[in-house]
Each structure stands twice: as C-alpha cells, then as structure tokens.
Amino acid sequence: MTGSTASGTMPSGRLRLRLEARDQPGLLTHVAVSLLLLVAALLLAGVVMMVAGGNPLDVYRSMFGAGFGSKWGLNDTLVKMVPLTLASLGVALAFRMKMWNIGAEGQLLMGALAASGIALFAVPPDMPQWLALGLMAAAGAAGGAVWGIVPGWLRAQFGVNEIISTLMLNYVALSIVQFFVYGPWGERGFGLTPMFERNTWLPRLTEFADQWSALRGLTLHLGILAVPVAIVLLTILLNRTKFGFEIAMVGDNPDAARYAGVRLRRTMIIVMALSGALAGMAGMNEVSGVVHRLLEHISPGYGYTAIIVAWLGRFNPLAVAVVAFLFGGLIVGADEIQSAGISSLLQGVILFVMVSGNLLIRYRIRLRAPEMLE
C-alpha cells in the first residue's frame, strides 16, 4: 500500500505536497474527515451563493428547516430516504465485491414496472391488502433482480464489462417503462398509468390519524420498515455468513478466492441479483407508497444518487442508511430554493467536494521540506 503514494510533486526548492496512505483508517477518521468535507462543501457553495447575490446563512437555515426542522420536513425526508437507502444498499453490496453495478436506476425502474403490472392486472379490488402488497414486493424484487442478473451473467460467462452493460441497461429500462406508460398501460397519452386500487397502497401514517391525531397529514408509509430490515439482513449476510466472507474475498482478490474454492460465477450472479432486487424494492416502494401509479418520471435519478450514497457510506449498510437520510434531507431542502438552477448547483458542489475529498480518508497530506539531493 505504501508503495502506491501519489505525489503531487512541485518544482524542487519548494515545499512538496505528498499523499501518504493511512495504515488503517478508523471509524473516527471516517467521521471526522466526512464532517470536515461537509463543512468545506457548505463553505464553497456559500461562496457561490454570495456571488449569486444570496445570503448563504438564510438559504442553509431554510434548507435545514425544510429537511429536518419540523415533523413535516422529517416526514418528507424519511419518505425520500426509503428508495435512496434501498437502492444504495444494493449498490453497496455489489461494490463490496468490486462489481461496479451502476445500473440501480434501471433495476429500480424494472422493479417499479413489475410491481405496477401486478397492481394493475393481478390484484382484484377485494384482495387483502397484505397479500397484494406481498405480491407487489415480490414482483418488484424479481423485476430488479432480473435486471441485475443479466449483466451479472454476461460478466460471469463472457467477461462483459458490467460498468458498460449496467449503464446501458438503465436506458433500456427507461425505454421499456416509456413504452408501457405511453402504450398499453397508459391513460390518455400522458405517460402515466391509471391510479392503482387502494389495496395496493402501502399504508401511510395519516391513515391512523383517527387513533392518533398527531399523525394527520404525515405521508410516511410502511415501506420505511424495509430500511431497518434491509440493514440488519445485509449486515448479517456480509459479516456473519460464509457467503458474505466469499463476497469480501472475491472483492479483495478473485484469484485467491477461486483457489479457496469460491464459485466465482455463481457468486457474481447471486450478488447482482440481490443488488438488483434491493433497487427493485425501491421502485416498488415508490409506486406503492408514494405515487400509486407508474409514470415515466417515477425516479428522479435515485439509482444514480445511490452510487454516491453507497460510496460516501463506505459500503457499510448502517452508514449508507445514515448518508441516505442526510441526502434525503438535502434534496428536500434544496427543492425549496429558487431558482431551480441554484438548488442543483448546491447539490452538485456538495457531491463534488464530498466525493473528491474522500481521498483524505485513505490518505493524509504531508508537507515536506525539499530534499537535500535536489
């Protein structure tokens, strides 16, 4: 590891900047560096806002208020967190094995499509809600899994680069969704299906307002329970099972893993299936818990944001969920800021600083006096 230090060498005779690998970046380093980066990002974005003629403090105050400052804001942030967490966990699982699955967006769409198909055509209005939701969840997971298995199998069987195949399949999935919502499942040519029957909706808190009046108006839906369940299951899978150990081993050194008896192809395909299934569940949650119909723009790019969330969460399920929560708040808060261009700029700056600065977790910067020989 130490042999691979990248050095930003300055002309001789001056101080030199060097990057040195940290031995074992601990939890504290992670948290400290991440917080530092967040502050740096907010400062940088603040400068941009000041140039644009705004007051960054006001903007941040209202963003924070909108995302976390009230029960309404928290509600909206948690609703956003559900698809983000599920898709990010899927991405994190694949990344653990160094399977660069950037197809969460497509897997999410296929999950949404499959769940919608069940809701529209396989659920009679008198079917018990638990059964309808169970069928939709299974279909969502299956839809996403299929969209993960295809590039997984191509990689395992033919060595097809999964970065390219998963990315391309995102566009294929979007086209398929467009075909259905404008075509056979569409309503009046507007790119959306009819609204689903009530028994296919994930129950929302507001539906229990008769018993607890404080819940009135809260749109948080039952899908939020999938978040802790997925975290626990994934943590157990990764840390407590043989399969989890194999995933880590393949990620570290595929050759060694093969010598140790890991069936590489099988592992790749299963991991991609699970990864896709998680994203597919995210899609099911959106159609069943939030929109109650399928439409072309069912995902505002959750699958792509998930890659960044997974990375910032260091592929650790719990950390990924925490990052997803913060990102949910960031998106909800930034949506409040006008003009719309500014809000995407803000998100962009924060992403950029966090991602590029992440280097600092693995490396530390050393200032060095010029060496004598030079």
Where along the sequence are the contacts to other proteins (CB under 8 A)? 1, 4, 6, 49, 52-55, 58-59, 62, 66, 72, 76, 79, 98, 100, 102, 105, 163, 167, 182-183, 188-192, 195, 217, 219, 286, 290-291, 293, 295-301, 304-305, 307-308, 311, 332, 335-345, 347-348, 351-352, 355
The backbone torsions φ and ψ at residue 204, rounded to the nearest 5 degrees and listed phi first, read -105, 155
* In 69-103, alpha helices (H): 71-96
3-state SS assignment for residue 99 = coil
Q: Which of 128, 117, 122, 40 is nearest to 283 (CA)?
A: 117
Minimum CB–partner distance for residue 335 and other proteins (Å): 6
Helix (H) or strand (E) holding 19: strand 16-21
Considering the complex, state which of residue 56 and residue 117 has its C-beta at the smaller distance from other proteins: 56
Nearer to other proteins, 174 or 233 (CB): 174
CB of 170 to other proteins, least distance (A): 8
Q: Least Å distance between CB 348 and other proteins?
A: 6
Residue among 4 and 9 whose Cβ is closer to other proteins = 4
In whole angstroms, the minimum distance from the beta carbon of 292 to other proteins comes to 8
CB of 4 to other proteins, least distance (A): 4
CB burial of 240-257 (b: ≥16 within 10 Å; e: otherwise) equals: eeeebebbebbbeebeeb
Three-state DSSP class for residue 17: strand
For residue 49, what are its two tokens?
Answer: 């806002």
**CB nearer to other proteins: pick between 42 and 233:** 42
Q: Measured from the CB atom, is 233 or 291 closer to other proteins? A: 291
Would you call 52 helix, strand, or coil by DSSP? coil
> Tokens 């997803």 correspond to what residue?
324
